[in-house]
Structure 1
């Protein structure tokens, strides 16, 4: 049997980028979002991406109902935004500027890249749900270095 804490520690040795994944809940037209490092490319043809979301996440129902989402790729100066969407859901959107993408999902300003997706499939994955999305539109609003997560903390890429 694999110890859950040890498993999590070992996974933490894999450096990942940080995203904020958003949707517009059709129940009340309410924006939702969360910080995720579970984002990954899946296929080039067709263009597919995936992310996973805990079954006990407060926003799970919104993402299941929305059938579309946006992936906002954070830059190294977005640590505060990452923390905001990693914390409790209340107040996440207060005073935050965003625009609605073509799917209605919120697009956050100043991102390194944004992927607007239609949900193609949702799979069970243990204590998570796995969302597969077809990329309908992508943008790369700015250049910059990514915000990286490694061993439970934010990291920055070394410059030459």
Structure 2
């Protein structure tokens, strides 16, 4: 049975997801980040999470070669941040407030939470690479509700 890609995408659009920006460093030490909504918890013991990124993304190699990354869970006020890190614009970090986490990776300000992770595994799954990280530190802030993605658009509670 063949599944139509558009129909598959539309069906998956019925599942509301949170929006994250996943960050790490380039080989030269510059910060990079990308908007991701394919994020999930994997395990409580040990604390594991995952995200996936198109394997042919120019950023994929950085996440494969760096030992650490941060997952910044966006708040309902950060739609512009989501759009910024989803785009190809350069100097994204010049346009947002951020600092470094204890693991040395960029940490966006104004998020609901930042999960500092050590890369545990990476797996190819279709046209994506699935990155599994062990959470080594958590930082949470009270910044309202989550930014959600549902049926092709942003939503909030």
Q: Once the two structures are superposed, what CA deviation does each residue of 1:1-45 show, in whole Å capped at 9, x if it has no partner?
A: 1011111111111000100010112x1001111001111000000
TM-score w.r.t. length of structure 2: 0.96
Q: Structure 2 unaligned segments of length 5 or more: list them.
A: none
Moved over 4 A (4+): none
| Number of residue pairs aligned between Structure 1 and Structure 2 | 156
Q: Does the 8 A contact of 2:81 with 2:96 survive in 1?
A: no
* 2:17 equivalent to 1:16: yes
Match for residue 83 of structure 1? 83
Q: Report the counterpart of residue 69 of structure 1 in structure 2.
A: 69
Equivalent position of 2:126 in the other structure: 126
SS in 1 for 2:81: helix
84-93 vs 99-108, which deviates more?
Answer: 84-93
Residue 146 of structure 2 is matched in structure 1 by 146
Partner of 1:5: 6
What does residue 32 of structure 2 align with? Answer: 32
Distance in 1 (alpha carbons) for counterparts of 2:124 and 2:80 = 31
Length-normalised TM-score, structure 1: 0.94
Q: Which consecutive residues of structure 1, in runs of 5 or more, have no partner in the other structure?
A: none
Greater CA deviation, 66-75 or 84-93? 84-93
Aligned partner of residue 85 in structure 2, secondary structure: helix
